[in-house]
A and B are shown apart, each in its own frame.
Chain A
Amino acid sequence: DTGVSQDPRHKITKRGQNVTFRCDPISEHNRLYWYRQTLGQGPEFLTYFQNEAQLEKSRLLSDRFSAERPKGSFSTLEIQRTEQGDSAMYLCASSDRLHSSGEQFFGPGTRLTVL
């Protein structure tokens, strides 16, 4: 079973450091999404890609956040100069445009703790 995978699963960092997360979508899924979830809340959309094109970015995505999907396969999400408010679970999901349901499949998430 090749579901969505994310790396690392946990990251502890000090305020001001940069962090990078990786997401590998389900093979051949051309859409890839990033969400952020804080404790007790539902996931909030950050950005999404169709193939290598970044089609939409949330206003939540400040200038310190950048995401890439250079070859239309895996994606990276980088947070520069981390702040304590960045502590959250970062979820990646993928979907296949060819299937009409639009269902998004989620990875296990990366839990970020900023000290």
Chain B
Amino acid sequence: ELKVEQNPLFLSMQEGKNYTIYCNYSTTSDRLYWYRQDPGKSLESLFVLLSNGAVKQEGRLMASLDTKARLSTLHITAAVHDLSATYFCASPPGGGTSYGKLTFGQGTILTVHP
């Protein structure tokens, strides 16, 4: 059974600081997704990482994927308050199946304070 684990689960950051969220998954997969969720809202797609070594950047967020290590990272640069949210990584079934249900990590609750 595929397991997806994120750490840390809680992250309190000062504005202007950098930090990284880690996402480990247990089954070989060629892709990984990152989503953002604001309180009481649905999930917003942030990044789609489709191959080993993929790196994508959007504003202060940068995501990368290492399929050999089964690890994805979400790096936050110079955090600002607007980034406060819960961040989820999610993996498809893997093992040669790239489509279908997603298995989500537990989520990382990010709070950025002055």
Contact = CB atoms under 8 A, between A and B. Distances in A.
Interface stretch (A14-22, A69-77, A79-87, A98-106): A98-106
Given A97-B99, A100-B50, A102-B99, A43 B92 contact: no
User: By DSSP majority rule, is chain B's interface helix, strand, loop, or mixed?
Assistant: loop
A56 interface: yes
Interface in B32-55: 33, 35, 41-45, 48, 50
Contact of A91 (B31, B43, B48): B43
B25 interface: no
Given A41-B106, A42-B88, A42-B106, A103 B101 contact: no
A41 B88 CA distance: 10
A109 B103 CA distance: 18
A107 interface: yes
Nearest to A91: B42
Nearest to A4: B42
B100 interface: yes
A105 B101 CA distance: 12
A31 interface: yes
B106 A55 contact: no
User: What size tier do the contact residues of chain B reach?
Assistant: 20 to 34
Contacts of A91: 42-43
B100 A48 contact: yes
Interface string B87-114: 0101010000011111111110000000
B101 A101 contact: no
18 contacts: A35-B102, A40-B107, A41-B106, A41-B107, A42-B88, A42-B104, A42-B107, A56-B100, A56-B101, A91-B42, A91-B43, A97-B99, A102-B92, A102-B98, A103-B45, A104-B33, A104-B102, A105-B45
Interface of B: 4, 31, 33, 35, 41-45, 48, 50, 88, 90, 92, 98-107
